[in-house]
Amino acid sequence: MKSLEELKQNLESKMPGVTSVLEEGCLVISKNDWLEVAKFLKSSPLYSFDYLSSVTGVDYPDRLEAVYHLYSIEKKIGPLTVKVRTDRQKGEIPSVTPVWRSAEFQEREAFDLLGIHFTGHPDLRRILMWEGFAFHPLRKDYVAEND
């Protein structure tokens, strides 16, 4: 893969108005641009990130963060780590399930365990815990019942 810097410049020149930040080797993208950027990353002939390997979330004291790891099977490059941030209360991020099918279950899992609401997801339900479970157990402030 060409360097991340180049990818960032390329992204910003092809999609005016989109700003991204490089942080610890990850591309941080604002949640409003994310869906468009995802489509670009998948369809751009230069990168063609056709394989979304992993979607997960991290709970920080001040924010929730969705982390995506992208590979290209065609170009055999990767991983590209993309981070999208949102606040802890509402926690909304656009879903990329329409772009990559592999996000379907993984976004459901991140919703279940961390409470990130993926807007536009076709079937956003709890996947590992039962319906009616009131908490998001992977958050740092979750307290398990004392039994």
Partner 1 sequence: MTEENLSTLATQTLEVSLGPQHPSTHGVFRMNATLDGETIVKLKPVMGYLHRNHEKLAEDMTYLGSMPYTDRLDYICSMTNNFAYALAVEKLAGLEVPERAEYIRIIMAELTRLVNHTLLIGFLLNDLGAFFTPVLYAFREREKILDLFESVSGSRMMCNYFRFGGVKIDFSPGFLEGVKSIIQNYPKFLDEFEKLLSENEILMARCQNVGVLSKELAISAGISGPMLRASGVPYDIRKVDGYSIYNRFNFRVPIGEVGDVYDRYYVRILEMRESIKILAQAVKEIPEGPFISPKGAAGAKAPRTFKPPKGQVYGRIEAPKGELGFYLVSDGSPKPYRYHVRPPSFINLTILEDMCIGNKIADAIVTLGSVDIVLGEVDR
Partner 2 sequence: MTTPNTSQVDPNLKSEMQKKGIFVTTINDLYNWGRRSSVWPLQFGLACCAIEMIATACARYDIDRFGAGLFRPSPRQADLMIVAGTVTKKMAPQVVRLYNQMPEPKYCITMGACSISGGPFKNGYNVLKGIDRYIPVDVHLPGCPPRPEALLHGLIKLQEKIDGQVIEKTEWYQKGLKREFPVPEFGPNGLIPPYNPDVFTPGQSRLITTG
Q: Work out how close the CB of 64 gets to partner 2 at its nearest, in angstroms, rounded to a whole number.
A: 19
Q: Which of partner 2, partner 1, none sits in contact with 39, Cβ below 5 to 8 A by type?
A: none
Q: Work out how close the CB of 68 gets to partner 1 at its nearest, in angstroms, rounded to a whole number.
A: 10
Closer to partner 1 by Cβ: residue 18 or 109: 109
Q: Which of partner 2, partner 1, none sits in contact with 58, Cβ below 5 to 8 A by type?
A: partner 1
Closer to partner 1 by Cβ: residue 4 or 58: 58
Q: Which helix (H) or strand (E) holds 78?
A: strand 77-86
Position of tokens 């365990």? 113
Closer to partner 1 by Cβ: residue 36 or 78: 78
Concatenated DSSP letters of 43-62: H-TTT---EEEEEEEEE-SS
Whole-number Cα distances in Å, 32 to 2, 11, 38, 86, 119: 26, 15, 11, 10, 11
Please report, as ranges, the residues that interact with partner 1 according to CB under 8 A: 24, 26, 50-54, 56, 58-59, 67, 69, 73, 76, 79, 81, 100-106, 109, 113, 126-130, 137-138
